[in-house]
């Protein structure tokens, strides 16, 4: 299986290229731990989707470390769009969204694959759950998503965007609702989200999508058709609008073109949405190393299990 890593985002709230911010004394990034966990779960190739201008930086840091233990490829996300659709405003600098990033890596993926964010720490269980589910079915059209308990994905330092998932009694996805501003409620007994300048309660035990999906190549045609519709929709803001992967997966599921299993994990997600989040990620990884989940120096004595 292939691991597709979304790493072209700008990290505006964080204030820098957070994907390449060291989290350990050995200089390891969150991406290092993601790839390490993926290899242990049986993944045999990683594709980084990056901005082309960041290639040398990625290649000289994370790339040179992991290409010794797993096949590594790169795909570039720019402003390329299908001919005959629209013209992207020249002043736009932000990528066109995670689903557009997926399309940019189409030529790199020929087998079942998982998609993750480069700056998110998901924990080892997520990779195991996704790999086991995707490998158990010989057919195409059976996707999965690792779902996290909402409380385990929030930060104390601001609001976050999450896809709130509803699954049926068999654990198959019914819907994903995007909430763009979620935070802890004042009493810390639940969460809350804002809409139309009003705050509404949201249960801590809600299941949140953290952009960890398991797909197969059948998603590409559907995503490409949807991208054309996105670009030509008169309601699309071509300066700031984004074509999001969870929306594509949800739409494909709703159209009966696939089914999507929600694989629930109780592991705590960690990310660096804001600069102050870094200390929590560093502490988490340090604790994992102390417990023996990871060696002290991921690649120094790496043995491919």
Band (pLDDT 50/70/90 cuts) for residue 203 is very high
Residue ranges of domains in the chain:
2-291
Residue indicated by tokens 């010794």: 68
Q: What average pLDDT does the chain have?
A: 90
Helices (H) and strands (E) in the chain, counts: 8, 13
pLDDT > 70: percent of the chain: 95
Tell me what pLDDT residue 83 has.
84
- For residue 287, the number of C-alpha atoms closer than 13 Å in the C-beta half-sphere is 8
pLDDT in tens, 241-281: 999 998 899 899 999 999 999 999 999 999 887 888 889 99
- For residue 66, the number of C-alpha atoms closer than 13 Å in the C-beta half-sphere is 30
Tell me what pLDDT residue 304 has.
54
Asked if the model's pLDDT at residue 40 lies above 50, the reply is yes
Say which residue, 116 or 163, is predicted with more confidence.
116
Most confident among 80-84, 169-173, 296-300 (mean pLDDT): 169-173
Tell me what pLDDT residue 14 has.
37
CATH of range 2-291; options 3.40.50.510, 3.60.110.10, 3.30.70.330, 3.90.550.10: 3.90.550.10
First to last CA, the chain: 15
Indicate the SS3 state at residue 198: strand
pLDDT in tens, 215-228: 999 999 999 999 99
pLDDT in tens, 135-182: 998 789 999 999 999 999 998 889 998 989 999 999 999 988 888 899
Q: Tell me if the pTM is above 0.85.
A: yes
Band (pLDDT 50/70/90 cuts) for residue 15 is very low
* Cα angle 36-41-42, degrees, rounded to a multiple of 5: 100
- For residue 154, the number of C-alpha atoms closer than 13 Å in the C-beta half-sphere is 26
- Distances, alpha carbon 147 to alpha carbons 130, 150, 163, 228, 237, in Å: 11, 9, 10, 29, 29
Asked if the model's pLDDT at residue 231 lies above 80, the reply is yes
Check if the beta carbon of residue 265 is closer than 8 Å to that of residue 148. yes
């Amino acid at each position: 299986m292939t691991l597709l890593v979304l790493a072209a985002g700008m990290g505006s709230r964080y204030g820098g290229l957070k994907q390449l911010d060291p989290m350990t004394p050995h200089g390891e990034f969150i991406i290092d731990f993601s790839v390490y966990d993926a290899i242990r779960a049986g993944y045999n190739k990683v594709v980084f989707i990056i901005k082309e201008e960041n290639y040398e930086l990625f290649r000289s840091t994370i790339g040179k470390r992991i290409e010794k233990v797993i096949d590594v490829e790169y795909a570039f996300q720019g402003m390329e769009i299908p001919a005959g659709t629209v013209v992207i405003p020249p002043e736009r600098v932000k990528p066109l969204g995670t689903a557009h990033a997926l399309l940019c890596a189409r030529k790199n993926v020929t087998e079942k694959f998982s998609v993750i964010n480069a700056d998110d720490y998901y924990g080892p269980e997520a990779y195991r759950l996704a790999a086991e589910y995707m490998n158990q079915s010989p057919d195409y059209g059976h996707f999965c998503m690792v779902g996290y308990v909402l409380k385990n994905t929030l930060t104390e330092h601001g609001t976050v965007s999450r896809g709130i998932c509803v699954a049926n009694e068999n654990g198959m996805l019914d819907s994903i609702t995007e909430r763009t501003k979620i935070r802890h409620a004042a009493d810390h007994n639940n969460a809350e989200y804002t809409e139309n300048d009003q705050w509404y309660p949201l249960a801590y035990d809600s299941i949140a999508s953290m952009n960890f999906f398991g797909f197969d190549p059948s998603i590409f045609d559907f995503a490409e058709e949807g991208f054309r519709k996105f670009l030509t929709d008169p309601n699309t803001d071509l300066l700031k609008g984004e074509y999001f992967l969870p929306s594509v997966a949800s739409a494909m599921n709703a159209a009966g073109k696939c089914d999507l299993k929600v694989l629930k994990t109780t592991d705590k997600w960690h990310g660096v949405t804001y600069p102050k989040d870094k200390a929590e990620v560093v502490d988490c990884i340090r604790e994992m190393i102390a417990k023996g989940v990871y060696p002290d120096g991921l690649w120094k004595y790496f043995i491919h299990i």
